[in-house]
Structure 1
Amino acid sequence: MLRKLLLAISSRPPISVEQNPAKRHDAVMVPGPGICNFIGMEYYAGILNRTFLVCGFRSSVCGVRIRGVISNPLYLPPAQAVDPMAYVDQGLLARYTDVTLESMDLVSLDDANFRYTRADIESISLDMQPKWGMGNVLYSGRVLMKLKESKAREFILLGLQDVQQVIDQLASFN
C-alpha cells in the first residue's frame, strides 16, 4: 500500500526525444485539424485533471476535452503508454467531428474547451523538469502557455510526443 502511494506521488522525469535522439522516429505527431496538434493533460481544481486535443492554427490555439480524469496508478502496457492516442476517449473525440475548431462553437460543447487568438497569448515555452504526481503516466514534457489577460495554462504532453517540434511549430505562428 505504501509503495502504491509513493508511486502515485512520484516525480518521474519526462520521456524525451531530446535526451534520447534515437527515439525521435518513435515520437508520434498527433493527427488533427491544426497545423500543430498535441495531446495534453492539464491539472485543475487542485488535484483533478483533464486531457485535451490542442490544435494550433495560424490565428488561434484551440483545445477540446477528450478525456476526463486520469487516475494514478494508470497502467498501460509500455508499447501502448507511449502512444498519445491511447489517452483519448474516442467517444468524446467523436463529438467534434462536425465542429470547426477555430469557431467559438467548440466552447459551447464543453465548458472545459477553449479558444485563444494569437493576440491573447503572451508566450509559449517548454518545461522539461519532472512533473510531481505523474506516477505511472508517461509524458514527454510540458507546454506552458502564458496568457495576457488571464492565468497561464500548463499542458503535460502524454505519451511520446516531440515536444520541441510542438513548441517550434506553435512559436512560428507568432
Structure 2
Amino acid sequence: MPRTVEFTVLVAAISFFGFFLYSFWTLTRRAPALDILSNEASDADRLPLPASSFVAMEYFWLILNRTFVVFSTPNALYGWKASGPVSNADRDYFQPLVEMTLDRELTQDLAAIRKLSELSGGFCIARSSIVSVESSYKSKWGMGGILHSGRVTITTNTRRSREFILLGSSADPDSIKDAIWNGR
C-alpha cells in the first residue's frame, strides 16, 4: 500500500475515533438534563405563575462562551448551562432552548428548575444577593451573526457581575430586567 494511502487511512481512523469520543461525551452530559425534563412535576413543586425565562450567552476566559436557560423565580435566579462553547456556524442553535422557555409545564416546575441549575456549570443566585440589574439594547461585539437583542448585567452583593447576552430577537432587555427585579 502506498504511504499516502496508509497516512489517509490513519488520519481517517483517528478522526473517526475522536468524533466518536466527542459524541459519546456529549450524549452522557445531556442524559441528566433529559431525565430531569422527562419527570412529571408534583403539585407541591409548582409555582403559582410560570417563571420568567430567557436564553442567554455569557462569555468567559475572554473569547469562550456558554449558553444558559435562565429562570427568574420569586426566591432566586436559576441558570442551566445548556451548551458549552459554540461558534457561529449554526446561528440558530439556541432556537430549541427558546421554545423550552415557552413551555408552561417546565416554567412552573420549581423542582426541575432547581435540579437543572445544580447540573455542571449551572448557577443559583439568591434574590436577596442581587444588588443591581442593568439592561442594554446594544449589540455585543464578537457575536459573529448570532441573533441577539441586547444584554442584562446582574451584580451581586459580593460585587460579582454577570453579563448575559439575550439570544433571539424576541427577548426584551427591559422586560427581563423588570422580571429579575420583581422576582417573576
**TM-score interval for Structure 1 and Structure 2 normalised by the shorter chain:** 0.5 to 0.7
User: Identity of paired residues, percent?
Assistant: 33
Task: Kindly indicate whether the alpha-carbon contact (under 8 Å) linking 1:62 and 1:102 is maintained by their aligned counterparts in 2.
Answer: yes
Q: Is 2:157 the partner of 1:148?
A: yes
Bigger helix share: 2
Q: What CA distance in whole angstroms lies between the structure 1 residues aligned with 2:61 and 2:113?
A: 26
| SS of residue matched to 1:166 | helix
Q: What CA distance in whole angstroms lies between the structure 2 residues aligned with 1:140 and 1:132?
A: 12
Q: What is the TM-score normalised by the length of structure 1?
A: 0.63
Question: Relative contact order: is structure 1 or structure 2 higher (C-alpha 8 Å, sep ≥ 6)?
Answer: 1
Structure 2 unmatched runs, 5+:
1-48, 101-105
Please name the residue that 1:63 is paired with. Answer: 79
Please name the residue that 2:175 is paired with. Answer: 165
Task: Kindly indicate whether the alpha-carbon contact (under 8 Å) linking 2:91 and 2:147 is maintained by their aligned counterparts in 1.
Answer: no
Higher Rg: 2
Q: What is the TM-score normalised by the length of structure 2?
A: 0.59
Q: What CA distance in whole angstroms lies between the structure 1 residues aligned with 2:69 and 2:144?
A: 22
Moved more, 164-173 or 141-150: 164-173
Query: Residue deviations 1:5-51, cap 9 Å, x none?
Result: xxxxxxxxxxxxxxxxxxxxxxxxxxxx9521000000011110000
Structure 1 unmatched runs, 5+:
1-32, 91-95
Query: Residue deviations 1:30-79, cap 9 Å, x none?
Result: xxx95210000000111100000000000100000111212135444xxx
The equivalences for 1:72-111 within 5 A come to 72-76=88-92, 85-86=95-96, 100-101=111-112, 103=114, 105-110=115-120
Give runs of ≥4 in structure 1 deviating > 6 Å. none
The residue identity in structure 1 corresponding to 2:87 is S
The residue identity in structure 1 corresponding to 2:162 is R
Q: What CA distance in whole angstroms lies between the structure 1 residues aligned with 2:160 and 2:54?
A: 20
